[in-house]
Amino acid sequence: MFTGIITDIGTVETVARGEDLTARIRTGYDTSGIDLGASIASDGVCLTVTKLGPDWYEVFVSGETLEKTNLGTWAEGKRVNLERALKVGDELGGHIVSGHVDGVAQVTDVHDDGESTRISFKVPPALARFIAPKGSVALNGTSLTVNEVEGDTFGVNLITHTKHVTTWGDVAVGDAVNLEIDTLARYVARLTDYAA
């Protein structure tokens, strides 16, 4: 489990593609404190550490994950949002995030809004019903609050701090981002379906 509070920006150093993908990610984390098999959310996707070096870790990405996320676009030099898994007693600053991405959202607009940046996204219609104004979403692993929803489009605001400590300072129209809907919204919708 994660919180959507990004704690490092990693850089993809190598990518090996086949039906699956293996990537090496350079990190500022103290890798001596990371175990093989540990979970690290990388752009919001919970990935298992398969190899470790002094300032890097490797992950294996299955074909299923490549189909559901934007990780298939990873290339050398790509910056990625990183978060280590929660430990008992950690502060829960964002919202509960599983690292199980539901789909990919497309950035449709980016513009300044006072001291913040407003970003609009278009989501697959099947996921739109789970997104609510003032609810939470995880986008590329970052816990964000939804401003407004209109059909299959929704918007968020990013403060300057968030843009500096994540990869959101690089965002552009047309970007595909990993979307994880709020766990609570998923279960409420499921219960509503059963009640109907």
Residue range 91-107, pLDDT digits in tens? 777 788 999 999 999 99
- As a whole number of angstroms, the distance between CA 161 and CA 117 comes to 11
- CB burial class (10 A; 0-12, 13-18, 19+) of residue 60? middle
- Whether residue 43 is found in the same domain as residue 110: no
Tell me, what's the pLDDT at 94? 79
Residue 61 sits in a domain of what CATH number?
A: 2.40.30.20
Q: pLDDT tens digit string along 49-77? A: 999 999 999 999 999 999 999 999 999 99
Query: Does residue 89 belong to any structural domain of this protein?
Result: no
Given 84, 114, 147, the domain boundary residue is 84
Tell me, what's the pLDDT at 108? 98
Taking residues 173-185, report their average pLDDT: 90
Residue 165, classed as helix, strand or coil, is helix
- Whether residue 109 is found in the same domain as residue 180: yes
Query: Does residue 163 belong to any structural domain of this protein?
Result: yes
Q: Which residues contact 194 (CB under 8 A, 6 or more apart)?
A: none
Share above pLDDT 70 across residues of the chain, in percent, rounded to a whole number = 94
Total domains in the chain come to 2
Query: Does residue 156 belong to any structural domain of this protein?
Result: yes
Query: Does residue 98 belong to any structural domain of this protein?
Result: no
- Whether residue 107 is found in the same domain as residue 67: no
Query: Does residue 166 belong to any structural domain of this protein?
Result: yes
- Whether residue 116 is found in the same domain as residue 74: no
Range of the domain at 177: 103-195
**In sequence order, what DSSP letters do the residues of 59-126 get, joined into one string?**
EEE-HHHHHHSSGGG--TT-EEEEEEPP-TT----S--B-S---EEEEEEEEEEETTEEEEEEE--HH
Find how far residue 184's CA is from the centre of its chain: 17
Could you tell me the pTM of the whole model?
0.92
- Whether residue 15 is found in the same domain as residue 68: yes
Query: Does residue 108 belong to any structural domain of this protein?
Result: yes
